[in-house]
């Protein structure tokens, strides 16, 4: 048959290209090399007279075709899935093609395009992405994002089936990212023991199950009896977080965590972990440990930051990680713009510039702003990586304090950096300078009776 010969010759040509290319390991090689396949299939299916015959031909050879569909020629799926799916052999040959698909990490993209092409008839998608195909994906051990995407697009019944298949095959993914249909979340709660041994982040799992008493107890008990796995959960990598892989740095952090746990008289399972931003944040009793990087590593110590117990950049084998230990503060109470300005003003009066002005960077002290530790310790500014003190005021319980001191600079620093909150900073700085001018004008006239209480600079 002519079409069979044409397709075979095309595949032979593609294979020769692969053999002679130095870039075959990159998926972009497929994008650049196999666009002719899209043109060929589209041309054959554009002829209304032979369209049905040609659809059947491509379906019967889809196990040969699929390994050459990638990125730039995905139109093959987008344009023709709803035609191919009418043939009872399409899914069988699609699954055969997956067995030889050269880039496992691209399978999620293929399935996404099937979902997009099925939006007009979502039943086609739900019938196609069934247990048979899901079992194939488990056999191929695709990445967890692909599983999560499929679970989120599945209807309630399929999602239930897929979750049970993941449990049966001991696949441990981030179950907090799933949009559960009906009561399907209970499947995870009821089978929580299945996930504990393989969990990369026990604290994420603990946060996920917090609404279920049985699952929460099981995770807490497991954390307290598996110290090494619990500590390793702190170092779980994400897209945003600085990688912490050096054994020396990890050992130092581990010692600090254990020391804080001892000081606070709590257990490993009492740690609250947040690794969703650009720092790992551990809440341990009344203490907070931050692990990550810092934009401003050194600036003058001052009363308006949370008094640091430890603040140090760890470095080993070309890897760096900043660790900071402070008291926990209250971040639940709303902060007004006026309160933010007064804090900004107090900082400016010390000759400092705070450029990352926003409510999420401040909190209210739960106790006096000093170091609270079982031993009487007083780390020097040099030990904390800070310049000399400016101001000797000690803030008290309820006072507003800066939590994230990444963007505090000396006002004469030529390299002051601004964040995306520059509009608020500019507004506050303009007001501050105007108030200084008003006071200077009054002082220059000698009429000090006109100085209003709100314009007096408080140091």
Q: Which pLDDT score, from 0 to 100, does residue 32 have?
A: 56
Name the residue with tokens 């050194």.
298
Any idea how long the chain is?
459
How many C-beta neighbours within 10 Å does residue 283 have?
A: 14
Instruction: Please enumerate in sequence order all residues whose Cβ is within 8 A of that of 200, keeping only pairs 6 or more positions apart, or say none.
Output: 172, 232, 233, 236
CA of 154: how far to CAs of 147, 158, 187, 249, in Å? 11, 6, 16, 42
Rounded CA gap, 390 and 386, in Å? 11
Q: Which pLDDT score, from 0 to 100, does residue 456 have?
A: 41
Q: Which pLDDT score, from 0 to 100, does residue 73 have?
A: 83
Rounded CA gap, 13 and 1, in Å? 18
Q: Which of 138, 128, 76, 72 is closest to 104 using CA atoms?
A: 138
Q: With contact defined as beta carbons under 8 Å apart, do 307 and 365 qualify?
A: no
Q: Which pLDDT score, from 0 to 100, does residue 28 have?
A: 57
Rounded CA gap, 323 and 319, in Å? 13
Q: Classify residue 452 as exposed, middle or buried by CB count within 10 Å of its CB (0-12, 13-18, 19+).
A: exposed
Block means of pLDDT (10 residues each) for the chain, 459 residues, are 81 75 58 74 87 91 89 84 92 93 87 90 89 93 93 94 91 88 95 88 92 96 96 80 86 96 96 82 95 83 93 91 94 94 96 93 95 85 84 93 89 88 92 86 62 42
Q: With contact defined as beta carbons under 8 Å apart, do 51 and 79 qualify?
A: no
Q: Which pLDDT score, from 0 to 100, does residue 121 have?
A: 85
Domain boundaries, the chain: 2-200, 201-292, 293-453
Rounded CA gap, 33 and 233, in Å? 42
Q: Which pLDDT score, from 0 to 100, does residue 47 have?
A: 83
Q: With contact defined as beta carbons under 8 Å apart, do 299 and 352 qualify?
A: yes
The first and second tokens of residue 200, run together, are: 């990369």
């Amino acid at each position: 048959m002519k079409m069979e010969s044409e397709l075979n010759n095309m595949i032979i040509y593609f294979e020769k290209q692969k053999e002679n290319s130095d870039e075959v390991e990159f998926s972009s090689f497929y994008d650049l090399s196999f666009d002719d396949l899209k043109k060929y299939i589209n041309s054959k299916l554009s002829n209304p007279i032979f369209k049905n015959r040609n659809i059947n031909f491509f379906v019967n050879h889809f196990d040969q075709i699929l390994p050459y569909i990638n990125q730039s020629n995905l139109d093959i799926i987008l344009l023709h899935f709803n035609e191919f799916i009418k043939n009872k052999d399409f899914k069988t040959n699609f699954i055969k093609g997956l067995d030889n698909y050269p880039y496992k990490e691209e399978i999620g993209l293929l399935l996404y395009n099937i979902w997009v092409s099925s939006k007009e008839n979502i039943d086609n998608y739900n019938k196609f992405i069934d247990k048979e195909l899901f079992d194939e994906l488990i056999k191929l051990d695709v990445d967890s994002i692909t599983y999560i995407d499929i679970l989120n697009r599945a209807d309630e019944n399929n999602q239930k089936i897929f979750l049970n298949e993941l449990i049966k095959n001991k696949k441990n993914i981030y179950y907090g990212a799933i949009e559960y249909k009906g009561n399907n979340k209970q499947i995870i709660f009821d089978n929580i023991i299945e996930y504990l041994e393989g969990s990369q982040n026990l604290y994420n799992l603990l946060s996920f199950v917090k609404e279920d008493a049985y699952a929460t107890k099981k995770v807490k008990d497991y954390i307290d009896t598996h110290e090494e796995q619990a500590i390793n959960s702190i170092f779980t990598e994400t897209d945003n977080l600085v990688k912490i892989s050096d054994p020396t740095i990890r050992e130092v952090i581990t010692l600090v965590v254990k020391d804080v746990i001892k000081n606070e008289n709590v257990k490993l399972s009492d740690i609250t972990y947040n690794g969703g931003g650009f720092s790992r944040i551990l809440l341990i009793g009344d203490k907070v440990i931050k692990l990550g990087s810092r934009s401003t590593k050194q600036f003058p110590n001052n009363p308006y930051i949370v008094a640091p117990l430890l603040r140090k950049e760890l470095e080993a084998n070309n890897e760096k990680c900043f660790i900071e230990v402070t008291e926990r503060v209250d971040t639940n109470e709303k902060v007004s713009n006026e309160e933010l300005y007064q804090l900004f003003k107090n900082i400016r009066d010390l000759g400092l510039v705070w450029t990352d002005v926003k409510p999420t960077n401040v909190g209210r002290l739960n106790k006096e702003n000093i170091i609270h530790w079982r031993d009487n310790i007083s780390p020097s500014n040099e030990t904390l990586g800070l310049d000399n003190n400016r101001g000797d005021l000690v803030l008290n319980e309820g006072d507003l304090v800066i939590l994230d001191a990444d963007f505090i600079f000396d006002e004469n620093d030529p390299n002051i950096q601004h964040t995306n909150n520059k509009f608020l900073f500019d507004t506050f700085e303009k007001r501050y300078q105007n108030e200084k001018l008003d006071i200077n004008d009054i002082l220059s006239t000698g009429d000090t009776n006109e100085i209003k209480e709100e314009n007096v600079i408080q140091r």
